Amino acid sequence: MTPRDPIAHLPTHEVNNMPPHMGDQDLWADDRALRHWVSSMGGDGHATHFAHVGHLTGLDETFEKASQANRHGPELRAFDRYGMRINAVEFHPAYHDLMDLAISNKMHNFAWHNEGNAEHVGQSVLTYMFSQPEGGVMCPMAMTFSVVPSLRMAPAVAAEWMPRILSTEYDRRDIPANEKTGAMIGMFMTEKQGGSDVRANSTIAVPSGDGYLLTGHKFFCSAPMCDAFLVLANTKGRGISCFLVPRWRPDGTRNNLFIQRMKDKLGNKSNASTEMEFQDTWGVMVGEEGRGIRTIIEMVTGNRLYCAMSSAGIMRQALVQALHHTSHRSAFQKRLIQQPLMQNVLADMAIEVEAALALGLRVAQAMDRMDDPAEAALARIGTAVAKYWNTKRCPSLVVEALECHGGPGYVEESIMPRLYREAPLNSIWEGSGNVMGLDVLRAMGREAEAIPAVMAELERARGNHPNLDRAIDELRDELADPEGLEGRMRMVTEMMALTLQGALLTYRGDSAVADAFCASRLAPRYRGAFGTLPKGLDLDAIIGRALAPN
């Protein structure tokens, strides 16, 4: 915690030309681009709630708790003091405070409290804001939000669990869910031998009374203190099915969820990730037998939107930190933010952040319009496109923002190392880049409306910028060539993302940002490095839009 009145006059020198402590932020009021795109996507009706959450999540106290939760990570407590197996994880008090903050403000269930009213746009905005101070707490938030469509495939299960999910009370007690004031739900999919290829899973499930008993393992089990989990397992002769596995059995005894060890991860340190063994572990089937992948993919889709919006939020906070540092640090008789090359870097990052935000919220808007076939198709293919591109751009931007700080950004007292470690996570969780590219390819093959929906979205912006027109034509030509398409899917997905971003920015966005995006990202010689904007752009306007209002 930075002292309120630090001492600048030291025995050997005076401390000057150092940025002041940032203090409180307002993640809603300070973000012009966010407020613009929320209005554009029809989310104005939730502005009061966004303002409330933006104030709370931006407090210096919230960022300090995030720092504490990451410095003092979770600890495995497989056994209690008497040698009894309890399979528990203990967290620092700051983590529990952040969980309470998130749950009490509907970070895990906003969409389901507001169905029919820009629910996914609203959920995405909350993800974008809360991901800025802390990513680890957001893992159980994302899974609990995204589990609902899967649960609804089993009406009896949904009837039991939905009231618990809709609760806004954080109940940290490790007791049966029917005795708690609220509940969280996670997801265990991958196994050692298969990873993303879940059809290679070896966990089995056999009928037992009114449920099933599962035996096997899961290799990456995050948020293991959730109250229940969606799990994939093989049923004899029928293939992979989906099961809801609670921490406690219906008779009030502990379920057989044996935590083997904690993962020592690169980042996301506040969140527990474990390896889990099942041995006659009780669960109940969700969805059709043998259609488990189809059932759980509904949950995966929501998590992928989360990944896209979380990455946009991480990028936004990295930009905020870089703007703060360069606004207060001088070199060569000027503030860094006044130096031409630094202006180019900052404006370039601001463009990237806004483009990521716009793309993610447009996909969320399409998810809010699933009764329209074209919007539904855009949502299905757009989720994979946005997940791929936003998560790919996030690490590069965070590195650039860290570089803007120089040495002070590389020490652990800064938030930048934590953002840097968090940045790659969303590109791995819920499918790596190759998996996303293949999902875009599958959507193209299975959804007759997918490509027409994308092209219709792009054609709305036809004529807005010559580089955008050329990029649209190049994408159309690429899609018309089926030879070796699978091996080109990263390139095709990138082209979809960039043209969609360009279209959104030119017909719904700020003109200075849109012109700069098209003049750089859609130009023939663009190579992706930040700080390479061509001459003739209004960098002052772009930076001014990214700065907090005075």
Kindly indicate the confidence band of residue 3, based on its pLDDT and cuts at 50, 70 and 90. low
Task: Say how many Å lie between the first and final Cα of the chain, rounded.
Answer: 25
Per mean pLDDT, which range of 17-26, 114-123, 185-194, 405-414 is the poorest?
A: 185-194
| Sequence-ordered list of residues with C-beta below 8 angstroms from that of 352, at least 6 positions apart, any chain | 315, 393, 397, 530
In angstroms, the CA 377 to CA 443 distance is 8
SS (H, E, C) 40-104: HCCCHHHHHHHHHHHHHHHCHHHHHHHHHHHHCCCEEEEECCCCCEEEEEECCHHHHHHHHHHHH
The DSSP code for 281 is E
Share of the chain above pLDDT 70, in %: 99
> pLDDT value at position 521?
98
Q: What mean pLDDT is reported for the chain?
A: 95
Q: Is 102 exposed, middle or buried (0-12, 13-18, 19+ CB in 10 A)?
A: buried
Residue 184: pLDDT over 80: yes
The per-residue pLDDT for range 520-545, each reduced to its tens digit, is 999 998 999 999 999 999 999 999 99
In angstroms, the CA 127 to CA 40 distance is 18
Location of structure tokens 């930048």: 416
Per mean pLDDT, which range of 132-136, 138-142, 295-299 is the poorest?
A: 295-299
In angstroms, the CA 147 to CA 303 distance is 9
Per mean pLDDT, which range of 194-208, 339-353, 378-392, 481-495 is the poorest?
A: 194-208
> pLDDT value at position 133?
97
Mean pLDDT on 439-453: 92
The per-residue pLDDT for range 246-279, each reduced to its tens digit, is 999 999 999 999 999 999 999 999 999 999 999 9
> pLDDT value at position 5?
73
Kindly indicate the confidence band of residue 376, based on its pLDDT and cuts at 50, 70 and 90. very high
Contact status, residue 205 vs residue 237, Cβ threshold 8 Å: no
Which of 533, 362, 538 minimizes the C-alpha distance to 453? 362
Q: Is 324 exposed, middle or buried (0-12, 13-18, 19+ CB in 10 A)?
A: buried
> pLDDT value at position 300?
87
Per mean pLDDT, which range of 168-172, 196-200, 211-215, 452-456 is the poorest?
A: 196-200
The DSSP code for 300 is H
Residue 146: pLDDT over 80: yes
For the chain, what's the residue count? 550
For 378, the enclosing helix (H) or strand (E) is: helix 373-405
The per-residue pLDDT for range 358-367, each reduced to its tens digit, is 999 999 999 9
Strands (E), 236-350: 239-246, 257-262, 273-286, 330-331, 334-335
In angstroms, the CA 246 to CA 226 distance is 9
Residue 262, classed as helix, strand or coil, is strand
How many C-beta neighbours within 10 Å does residue 546 have?
A: 24
Q: Long-range contact list for 71-77, CB < 8 A, 24+ apart?
A: 71/269, 73/269, 73/270, 73/272, 74/262, 74/270, 74/271, 74/272, 75/262, 76/259, 76/261, 76/262, 76/272, 76/274
Q: How is the chain split into domains, by residue range?
A: 32-147+165-172, 185-292
Mean pLDDT on 333-355: 97
Share of the chain above pLDDT 90, in %: 89
In angstroms, the CA 295 to CA 286 distance is 7
Kindly indicate the confidence band of residue 297, based on its pLDDT and cuts at 50, 70 and 90. confident
> pLDDT value at position 494?
98
pTM: 0.96
Measure the CA dihedral 505/525/391/128, to 10°. -30
Kindly indicate the confidence band of residue 237, based on its pLDDT and cuts at 50, 70 and 90. confident
Residue 1: pLDDT over 60: no
Residue 377: pLDDT over 80: yes
Kindly indicate the confidence band of residue 9, based on its pLDDT and cuts at 50, 70 and 90. confident
> pLDDT value at position 39?
98
The per-residue pLDDT for range 50-91, each reduced to its tens digit, is 999 999 999 999 999 999 999 999 999 999 999 999 999 999
Mean pLDDT on 271-297: 94
Residue 414: pLDDT over 90: yes
Residue 158: pLDDT over 80: yes
Residue 2: pLDDT over 60: no
> pLDDT value at position 367?
97
In CATH, 185-292 is 2.40.110.20 = yes
> pLDDT value at position 279?
97
